[in-house]
Amino acid sequence: MEYRVSGKTGDKISLLGFGAMRLKSSGGRVDMDLATDLLRYAIDNGVNYIDTAYLYGNGSGSNERAIGMILESLGYRDKVFISTKMNRLAIHSREDMDVMFSNQLENLCTDRIDYYFIHNVICYDDVVSLIDMGLFDFINEKKSSGQIVNMGFSYHGSLDDFRKILDLYDWDVTLLQYNYFDDSMQAGIEGIRLAYSRGMAVVIMEPLKGGLLAGNMPLEVQDLIDASSSTRSNVDLAFSWIFDTPEVTCVLSGMNSMDMLEENIDIVNRHVDSSLSDDEVALIGEVKDVLHRLNKINCTGCNYCMPCPRDINIPSIFKLYNDKFLFPQDKVAGVNNNSLLYVGNILGVTGSPHDASLCVDCGLCVSKCPQQLDIPGLIRLVDKDFHGKLFRPFIPVIKRVMKFVL
C-alpha cells in the first residue's frame, strides 16, 4: 500500500481510502456480514482511512453505526483514521452541532473523529452561516478536548469561493470531487494545489464519476482504448490518473463488493512502479472528449437528491437518459433499451414507478444536489424525450389498466 503524509499532522494515510457511502443494504439495513468482510480485508491490506457521513444510508447515521460496530467488533479502531461529516442542512444552532456530534461519536463507537468535515459545502455563504451560529467555538472546543483531531469541509463549489473559504480558518483537510472527466470542474486541480500548499490533506471523492469511468464504455471510447498500447483496465486508467497527482493525499472508493475491493487494492499497490505513460495520458484526454460529448447529464448517482416527495427516482431516470446516448446500439426491435426500461419503470413493472412527468418543481432536490444541477429542468428534458408526443396521451390510460391488472 502506498501512503502519503498529511502536511499539518504528519499522518501517514493510505492512498486508497474506503468510502462507506454505498454500503450494500436490504430493506434499509446494511448487509453487516458483507461490510465486515470488506472492512477486514481492506484494513488487513493496508487501507487506513475510512470515510462515512451522518447522511449515508438512511439519512440518520445508519452507515456510521455499521462502521462503528464493525471496527469495534474487529478491534480495529486504532488501526484507522475515521472520517465523518456534519450535515450542515440540519444545523440551525450551536446546540444542533453539539447534539449531532455527540450522536456521531456514539454511532461510531469512538471517543474522537480523526477527520471531521462540514458536509457538501457549495458556496462561501454556507460556511459563513455556520460561523454565525458558533462554528468556530464548536471546533475549538472539540479540538481542545481531542474529540476532533482534524477539521475540514467537503466542497462542490467554485474555485473563487474555495479560496475565500480557505481564508476563513486554518483548515486541516478538504474533500474534493476530482476525476479525469471533471478535472476542471468546481475547485479542480488549482484548488487541490492551493490546499496542498497550505499543508492541508487533500482527499478525493468520485474518482470514477459514479461509475461512468469504470466497467463498460461506449463503443467509440472502447475502440480508442483497444487501439491504444495500454493494457490497463478502465478503472486502472481512472485511478492512476489521480494517483499521479502528487498533491492528492487519499482517493476514496465506494467499494461494496469483494471483487471491486481486491481490484482497487491491486491497482494502488502497483502504482508506485506503474505511473501512466505519455501515451496513456493522451489516451485519457481523447476518452474524456468523447465522454463529454456523449454524456448529457452530469449526475454521479450519489442519491443526495433522494427521496423525492413525488417518488421520482431521479438518479435512475438520469442514468437511463445518459445511457440512451452512451450506448445507442442497445436496441430491441429498433427501440432503444433505455426507452423500454423507462416505460417499464413508469408502469412499475421493472421496479418502483418513477415517472418524470410527476415533477412539480418543488426545488427540494436542487438544494441538496452537490453538482448544482437544475434537476427540475433536466427532469422535464427527460420527460419530453422519453414520453414523446405520441406516447404521452396514453400514459394515464396504461397506468389505470396496469393498476387494475396488477
User: pLDDT grade, residue 186 (50/70/90)?
Assistant: confident
Measured CA to CA in angstroms, residue 142 lies from 42, 118, 139, 187, 356 at distances of 29, 14, 5, 28, 45
Q: Which residues contact 296 (CB under 8 A, 6 or more apart)?
A: 321, 322, 325
Q: How many CB atoms lie within 10 A of CB 88?
A: 23
Contact criterion met (CB below 8 Å) for 234 and 209:
no
Q: What's the confidence (pLDDT) of residue 389?
A: 46
- Cell 427532469 locates to 379
Closest CA to 167 of 141, 200, 138, 140: 200
% of the chain beyond a pLDDT of 70: 86
pLDDT tens digits for range 7-59: 888 999 999 999 888 888 877 788 888 989 999 999 999 999 999 988 877 76
Average pLDDT, stretch 125-154? 96
Contact criterion met (CB below 8 Å) for 52 and 35:
no
- Output the 3-class SS for 275-287: CCCHHHHHHHHHH
Average pLDDT, stretch 263-287? 91
User: pLDDT grade, residue 388 (50/70/90)?
Assistant: low
pLDDT tens digits for range 310-364: 777 787 778 777 777 777 665 443 444 455 455 555 444 445 546 677 777 888 8
Burial 45-64 (b: 16+ CB within 10 A, else e): bebbbbbbbbbbbebebbbb
Domains and CATH numbers, the chain: 3-286 (3.20.20.100), 314-405 (no CATH)
DSSP letter at 306 equals P
| pLDDT of 210 strictly over 90 | no
CA 237 to chain CA centroid, nearest Å: 19
| pLDDT of 137 strictly over 70 | yes
Please name the helix (run of DSSP H) or strand (run of DSSP E) that holds residue 29, with its range, or none: strand 29-30
Contact criterion met (CB below 8 Å) for 206 and 196:
no
Q: How far does the chain reach from its first CA to its final CA, in angstroms?
A: 53
Lowest mean pLDDT among 95-109, 283-297, 388-402: 388-402
> Residue 298: helix, strand or coil by DSSP?
coil
Q: What's the confidence (pLDDT) of residue 254?
A: 86
Q: What's the confidence (pLDDT) of residue 397?
A: 56
Q: How many CB atoms lie within 10 A of CB 153?
A: 26
Cα separation, 369 vs 143, in Å, equals 30
pTM over 0.85: no
Q: Which residues contact 295 (CB under 8 A, 6 or more apart)?
A: 181, 212, 322, 325, 326
| pLDDT of 390 strictly over 60 | no
Mean pLDDT, the chain, integer: 84
Cα separation, 319 vs 338, in Å, equals 9
Q: Are strands 49-51 and 29-30 parallel, antiparallel or unpaired?
A: unpaired
